[in-house]
Amino acid sequence: MLSRRRKMFYSPVNRADLTELLGNISDNTFIIAGGTDLIIHLKNSKITDYSIIDITKIKEFHHISEDENSLHIGSTVTMTEICNCPIIRENYRALYDSAYNLGSEQIRNRATVGGNISNASQSADCSLVLFAYDAKVKIINSLNEEKILPIDEFIEGREKTVLKKDEVVAEIIIPKKERKSVFKKIGARKAVTISKISCAVDYAENNGKMENVRVFLGAVGIKPVEAVMLEEYFNGVSLKDINIEEVQQIAFKEVEKAIPTRASRFYKRIAIEGLIEDVVRDIL
Amino acid sequence: MKIETIVNGEKVSAEVDEKLRLIDFLRDNLNLTGTKEGCSEGECGACTVIMDKKAVTSCTVLAGQADGCEIITVEGLMKNGELDILQEKFIEHGAVQCGYCTPGFLMSAKALMMNNEDPTLEDIKRAIEGNICRCTGYIKIIEAIEDAVKEEKNVL
């Protein structure tokens, strides 16, 4: 009797191959890129009968490019590749810092930006920065249709995104603007650490004043939280007028507002005072 | 499924279970048991190998993803019966106690030296931040790597 083993590992090399595979996807098929999150999920899930689609060999997903209006980062670009990109280091400093401090060398060599947002952890670092950048996410599906969503709509929270089973993140699109940006995190240790609290700030600096300020906090909600009170403080403020103590007080209130019932608020509302001081020093 | 890789300089073609991890492929299929399994989550670095010139934790890579790639394990450090400079320095400096983390540290350090001709102390610490050691307290490991870097620079 011939035994026909069902193929369970696929490695498409282009978008066309991928969309064909997505057309036949089942509930137990998983997309893998770097694998640093998925492998752990699979291990803990106790699912044994699964298939894998490896998207790391798809050329269309592996690029960093700029056009007039945006920076485009393919979903399988790794943290190491983000750090090695001069454009990102110079002009998208918060994204550079979030990738630079993520995990360890081994994890940075595998972890991808698409994976970071698709995993949608409450403590996700790249994700947080992309919120501050007002980034958009390009998704493709089994019919090769493209959909572009603001990241705030893409990520629902509690590790859920709007991705359907036959959809994959193809690209992250960051609108270009005159910007400076800062990212800081606090974790249990210096490296290889999940953020206990993090902050990303995106702004323009004109005549010594901060404008168009976006401030987001990580690990204080089901997804990155917009710190509206901090934005109000920073918008239009002259750098020389920034009062760190005042900022710290507002930051304290932001944490209280974000997680009024979580036990971690006692730690985080104090920790953020140190964090926000680091942020302000960077801004200055 | 069939995978084709180069492991420690030699072409390897193998039929493997599709769900196999790279660490299992190396240890079980190829009998290269130098690579150790610690946490199985990519956090401890014990399973570090070099894949296409980059340090990776082999417990988070599926064997199928290594198809077409070049892998170096700790067994590949020794050449023609001679220890790699890193291995010599680890021994010289007493950077090995129980030895379980050592292959992972060696591969992280090797990857650093392959990609950076003149790493600073900060570069070294950053390169090994994904490797945990419960025995040595890290100082001798760092000194061994520093010494290997210094000697390699003198040789060039």
**What is the average per-residue pLDDT within A234-258?**
95
Smallest CA–CA distance, residue B129 to chain A, in Å, is: 6
pLDDT of residue A88: 97
Q: Where does A101-186 have alpha helices with state H?
A: 105-108, 113-119, 125-132, 151-154
**Per-residue pLDDT tens digits for A172-187:** 999 999 999 999 999 8
Q: What is the mean pLDDT of chain B?
A: 96
pLDDT of residue A190: 81
Residues of B within 8 A of A107 (CB-CB) are: 42, 57, 60, 130
Whether residues B62 and A39 touch (CB distance < 8 A) is answered with yes
ipTM of the assembly? Answer: 0.95
pLDDT of residue A251: 95
pLDDT of residue B19: 83
Whether residues B129 and A50 touch (CB distance < 8 A) is answered with no
Buried b (16+ CB within 10 A) or exposed e, B43-79: bbbbbbbbbeebbbbbbbbbbbbbbebebbbbbbbee
Smallest CA–CA distance, residue A210 to chain B, in Å, is: 33
Percentage of chain B with pLDDT > 70?
99
pLDDT of residue A1: 40
Q: Which of A2-6, A120-124, A223-227: highest mean pLDDT?
A: A223-227
**What is the average per-residue pLDDT within A65-93?**
97
pLDDT of residue A3: 41
Residue B105's alpha-carbon distances to A34, A41, B42, in angstroms, are 21, 26, 14
For the record, the structure tokens of B120 come out as 């600073």
Whether residues A52 and B43 touch (CB distance < 8 A) is answered with no
Q: Where does B7-51 have alpha helices with state H?
A: 22-24
CB A106, CB A191: distance < 8 Å: no
**What is the average per-residue pLDDT within A52-60?**
95
**Per-residue pLDDT tens digits for B125-140:** 999 999 999 999 999 9
Distance from C-alpha of A246 to C-alpha of A277, rounded to nearest angstrom: 11
Whether residues B129 and A190 touch (CB distance < 8 A) is answered with yes
Whether residues A105 and B126 touch (CB distance < 8 A) is answered with yes
Whether residues A52 and B62 touch (CB distance < 8 A) is answered with yes
DSSP string, B69-116: -EEE-GGGT-BTTB--HHHHHHHHTT--SS-SSHHHHHHHHHHHHHH-
Of A139-148, A172-181, B15-24, minimum mean pLDDT range: B15-24
pLDDT of residue A2: 41
Distance from C-alpha of A181 to C-alpha of A216, rounded to nearest angstrom: 11
pLDDT of residue B142: 98
DSSP state of A62: S
pLDDT of residue A172: 98
CB A260, CB A182: distance < 8 Å: no
Q: In chain B, which residues touch A (CB < 8 A)? A: 1, 18-19, 21, 40-43, 45, 48, 51, 54-57, 59-62, 64-65, 67, 108, 111-112, 126-131
Percentage of chain B with pLDDT > 90?
95
Q: What is the mean pLDDT of chain A?
A: 93
Biggest CA-to-CA distance, chain A: 81
- Residue A82 makes CB contacts below 8 A (sequence gap 6+) with A64, A73, A88, A95, A96, A99, A113
Residue B124's alpha-carbon distances to A221, B71, B147, B148, in angstroms, are 35, 22, 11, 11
Residues of A within 8 A of B55 (CB-CB) are: 105-106, 109
Strands across the sheet with A29-32, in order? A9-10, A51-54, A29-32
Q: In chain A, which residues touch B (CB < 8 A)? A: 7-9, 11, 32, 34-36, 39-40, 43, 50, 52, 54, 56, 80, 103-107, 109-110, 190-192
Distance from C-alpha of A95 to C-alpha of A85, rounded to nearest angstrom: 11
Closest-CA residue of B relative to A48 is: B19
Whether residues A11 and B64 touch (CB distance < 8 A) is answered with yes
This prediction has a pTM of 0.94
Minimal Cβ distance to A104: which of B21, B112, B130 = B130
Whether residues A35 and B60 touch (CB distance < 8 A) is answered with yes
**Structure confidence at residue B67 as a pLDDT band (50, 70, 90):** very high
**Structure confidence at residue A33 as a pLDDT band (50, 70, 90):** very high
Half-sphere exposure of B21 (CA within 13 A, CB side): 26
pLDDT of residue B17: 87
Residues of A within 8 A of B112 (CB-CB) are: 105
Distance from C-alpha of A253 to C-alpha of A246, rounded to nearest angstrom: 11
Whether residues B56 and A54 touch (CB distance < 8 A) is answered with no
Q: Given a cut of 90, is residue A137 above it in pLDDT?
A: yes
pLDDT of residue A142: 95
pLDDT of residue A5: 58
Residues of B within 8 A of A54 (CB-CB) are: 62, 64-65
Q: Given a cut of 50, is residue A155 above it in pLDDT?
A: yes
The residue with greater pLDDT, A35 or A193, is: A35
Q: Given a cut of 60, is residue A27 above it in pLDDT?
A: yes
CB A113, CB A82: distance < 8 Å: yes
**Per-residue pLDDT tens digits for B75-102:** 999 999 999 999 999 999 999 999 999 9
